[in-house]
């Protein structure tokens, strides 16, 4: 069972009790999830979290679970990670808004991005598809330069400038482009997760220029 992950980056450490409590409050606010594994009841007040600690969320609408891992670190490491099973992210129907677990996971990630206003959020394809290296979308070390646009991304103001400015980014020909209240821009390349990550995809060409 392969994993899907949404990774949150910041330029500074986020370690604080308040950060944890804010995150748990966001998790509680998204319809359909409850804390703990299926059949288990967990009071968020009882959750204490150290480095790399994980909170489990179970989906009330059927099979499905999500885990939130607190890592707190600044870029190039991450401060928060949202894991779910890859096969759980199955958009229903041919088009339209996400529903079910896929919709709830997306709402959770979006709400966390609004709450924490990260530098960057992305969901890399962890499978080894030829020609689409996850390192292209992952801050590895030092200065971060996007080599490819990930399937899912949230871009803060400094990244928006790197990608050609707010107006240009908002015109990206992606399935979903949304300016969040924080000023960051959320972009989902294709409705189907990781459907087309090629360099010649219109989203890639629009934001990163022509294929060399």
Binding site for other proteins (CB under 8 A): 1-3, 5, 7, 50-56, 63, 67, 69, 71, 77-78, 81, 83, 85-87, 89-91, 94, 124-131, 133-135, 138, 140, 190, 192-196, 198
CB of 35 to other proteins, least distance (A): 12
For other proteins, the closer of residues 53 and 117 by Cβ is 53
8-state DSSP, 62:
S
By beta-carbon proximity to other proteins, the closer residue of 51 and 168 is: 51
Q: Name the residue with tokens 């998204």.
A: 30
User: Closest separation between CB of residue 63 and other proteins, Å?
Assistant: 8
Shortest Cβ distance from residue 9 to other proteins (Å)? 11
Q: Which is nearer to other proteins, 126 or 170 (CB)?
A: 126
Question: Least distance (Å) from other proteins to the CB of residue 189?
Answer: 12
d(CA 196, CA 207): 15
Where do the DSSP E strands lie in the chain?
3-9, 33-35, 53-59, 65-70, 80-85, 120-123, 152-155, 176-179, 185-188
* Residue corresponding to tokens 């370690």: 15
* Shortest distance, position 170 Cβ to other proteins, whole Å: 26
Q: Which is nearer to other proteins, 80 or 185 (CB)?
A: 80
Look at residues 7, 18, 135, 28 and name the one whose alpha carbon lies nearest to residue 71. Answer: 7
For residues 81 and 118, is the Cβ–Cβ distance under 8 A? no
Residue 4 or 160: the one with the smaller Cβ distance to other proteins is 4
Question: Bridge-partner residues for 83, per DSSP?
Answer: 5, 67
């Amino acid at each position: 069972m392969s994993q899907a992950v949404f990774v949150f980056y910041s330029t500074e450490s986020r370690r604080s009790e308040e950060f944890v409590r804010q995150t748990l409050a966001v998790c509680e606010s998204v319809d359909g999830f409850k804390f703990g594994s299926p059949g288990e009841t967990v009071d968020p007040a009882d959750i204490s979290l150290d480095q790399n600690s994980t909170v489990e969320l179970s989906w009330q609408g059927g099979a499905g679970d999500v885990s939130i891992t607190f890592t707190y670190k600044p870029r190039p490491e991450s401060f928060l990670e949202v894991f779910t099973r890859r096969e759980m992210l199955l958009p229903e129907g041919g088009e339209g808004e996400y529903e079910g677990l896929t919709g709830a996971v997306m709402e959770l990630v979006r709400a966390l991005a609004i709450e924490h206003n990260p530098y960057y959020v992305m969901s890399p394809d962890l499978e080894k598809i030829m020609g689409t290296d996850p390192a292209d979308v992952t801050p590895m070390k030092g200065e971060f330069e996007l080599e490819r646009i990930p399937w899912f991304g949230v871009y803060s103001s400094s990244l928006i400038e790197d990608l050609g400015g707010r107006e240009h980014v908002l015109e990206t020909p992606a399935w979903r482009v949304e300016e969040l209240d924080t000023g960051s821009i959320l972009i989902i390349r294709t409705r189907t997760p990781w459907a087309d990550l090629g360099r010649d995809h219109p989203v890639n060409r629009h934001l990163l220029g022509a294929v060399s």
